[in-house]
Chains A and B, each alone.
Chain A
Amino acid sequence: MSTPPPARSTASPRRDTTPDSHGFPTRHYDLVKEFVIAIVVVVVLSVALAAFFSSPDEKSITMSTWAQNAPNDLIATATSELAGTSVSAAYGPPYNNASEGQKIGPLALQKWGGVRLPIDSAGLVLGPLSGVSGDSALTSALSTWKSTPADQRTKWATDYADALGKAPDGDPAKVAAADYGPVPLISADFLSLAKTGGLEGVLTSSGNFYGGDQTQSLLLLSDGTYLEDQAVARKLGGNQWGMMNETGNYPGQPWMWLYTFWYQIPPFTTEGAYAADNADALVWGLMMLLTLALTLVPFIPGLRSIPRWIPVHRLVWRNYYRDYPTATRR
């Protein structure tokens, strides 16, 4: 195969003068054969990897295991839900209006999303307990709670939460004596209910036989420290590249490395900084910007010229440049 000497182009390098690919000399190429071989290669690799490494499947945490393994954390979490001081209680949209949420400069995107998944944090505790029958002490405690003004209820729960914080290991049995109203009994009965394994069902079904929405139970679980402690022990914490990692020695989602990367560096890790307080929104904004830039790279001067400046393409097309040395514009 031979080609006549090319004419030197005088076109401006800034204009896209890429010729029509269909006008070039051709060579034999079997696309179907390539595809079939590719499928065989991928199937063999997948089967081998699956056979040798299997896949991770660490059982989910149940409310019962939480109650058994970290009862004091569950008591503290239940108390914070009653006091309105838990993470979800102070979250803002989409769960409540307790705060405006995060912002990207003047853009209050979280607030604009609206409270579409309303969650009553005290209801996470009182709701399941209201279904318990045959416990007169609990019935009386719940009745007292409901008939007491909100300010007093909050004071009881806040005082009890503070006392738990000061008690050794947060142990309810070692809390300083004071008037906490029905809060100690309510939280202790909540712990008992969790131990029975009946809590998930009540929180998940919300009156629907089939359930299927774990929003309430996952919010309650993540309001405690037990879930995070378990994750950190498995190197899945937010500052341990947790979003892209997987339980066990598995690759996880390495394609999310750049998103996770920003959570590892200042200013997003600088405590008290605006960037840290709004890190989730800012990282998302940054990633949207970077993704948009990469998507629109064909139209961005400078960025689209990088492949010309760093000539990796000389490797890809080294045979062509070698075999057709005069068929290129310089």
Chain B
Amino acid sequence: MTTRTRSLGPDDTSEAGNWTAGVRSRIVGLVPEGQALPDRQPVYVASWIYVFGVLTLAALGVVIVSGGLLAIGGVAWWHVSSLGLFVNSLHLWSVELFFAFMVVHLWGKFWMAAWRGGRALTWITGMVLFISSIGTAFTGYLSQANFASQWISAEAKDGLNSIGVGAYFNVLNPGQMLLWHVVLLPFAVGAITVAHVILVRRHGVVPPIDAADPSIESGA
């Protein structure tokens, strides 16, 4: 086998017009070099409140894995199997932990005014994530196929019907709700989580309120 190396002409040095190069450039530029997985953080990142973002991510992982295990057994499995009931319990409690961590994270970021310094989109994606997660959990409650899902759907239909949404998002149809719960909403939550984390790494952790610019301090 021979390898032939073509000499570079003037046009080859330019990436203009090359879609692949453009996408690569976009991806590489999403996060400053070395900031995707840094081993150092600004000195002010020293509080327990910072742990709750990572705890939320960890809980989301457990929610997804336990939900996946439930999916293997099917809709009725956890009603008739002690193992299935345990997996369902894991799913339930990891969801409860996920929301507890996320709410602490959210309010922590509120009191830190974490939208400062061009981080408004980070805050907004976090809020959309919170709302999407509520929808995902809600459709989970509707998909339980037990008394709770009967009652919750009977109650919830009035709210959704009153604003016209119920005509398209029918909480009395567990087949539709299950598909929203295991496909559409988790996909949305996953995609927004990725965007949120990228934004966090792109902008870095918000500096303390009223912190002076270190570059001015050092005369840089």
Contacts and interface: CB of A to CB of B under 8 A. Distances in A.
Interface of A: 1, 3-9, 16-32, 34-35, 38-39, 41-43, 45-47, 49-51, 53-61, 91, 93-94, 101-102, 104, 109-117, 212-215, 218-219, 221-222, 227, 230-231, 236, 238, 242-243, 246-247, 250-251, 253-256, 278, 280-281, 283-285, 291, 294-299, 304, 306-308, 310, 312-313, 316-317, 319-321, 323-324, 327-330
Contacts of A281: 162-163
Closest 6 CB pairs of A and B: A113-B164, A18-B117, A21-B204, A50-B89, A298-B115, A280-B162
B164 A9 contact: no
Contact of B55 (A21, A24, A41, A323): A41
Interface stretch (B12-20, B21-29, B147-155, B184-192): B147-155
Looking at chain B's contact residues, the main secondary structure is: helix
A61 B219 CA distance: 73
B159 interface: yes
A242 B209 contact: no
Contact of B43 (A5, A8, A94, A320): A320
A93 B94 CA distance: 37
A298 B120 contact: yes
A247 B148 contact: yes
A55 B174 CA distance: 20
Interface in B89-148: 89-94, 96-97, 99, 103, 108, 110-113, 115-120, 123-124, 127-128, 131, 134, 137-138, 141, 144-148
Nearest to B66: A46
A128 B90 CA distance: 40
B220 to A, nearest CB: 8
A23 B38 CA distance: 14
B97 A42 contact: yes
Q: How large is the interface on B (under 10, 10 to 19, 20 to 34, 35 or more residues)?
A: 35 or more
A313 B107 CA distance: 11
A256 B131 CA distance: 10
Contacts of A102: 162
Given A5-B217, A214-B174, A38 B111 contact: no
A16 B204 CA distance: 16
B166 A94 contact: yes
B150 A26 contact: no
Interface in B26-48: 32, 35, 37-47
Contact of B89 (A55, A58, A104, A242): A55
A222 B43 CA distance: 58
Given A30-B39, A298-B120, A35 B54 contact: yes
Contacts of A34: 51, 54
B206 interface: yes
A310 B57 CA distance: 28
Nearest to B49: A316
B144 A57 contact: yes
A101 to B, nearest CB: 7
B158 A328 contact: no
Given A60-B145, A297-B110, A307-B111, 15 more contacts: A4-B218, A5-B217, A8-B212, A24-B207, A27-B43, A38-B58, A42-B94, A49-B96, A57-B79, A93-B167, A117-B167, A221-B154, A230-B151, A253-B138, A304-B113
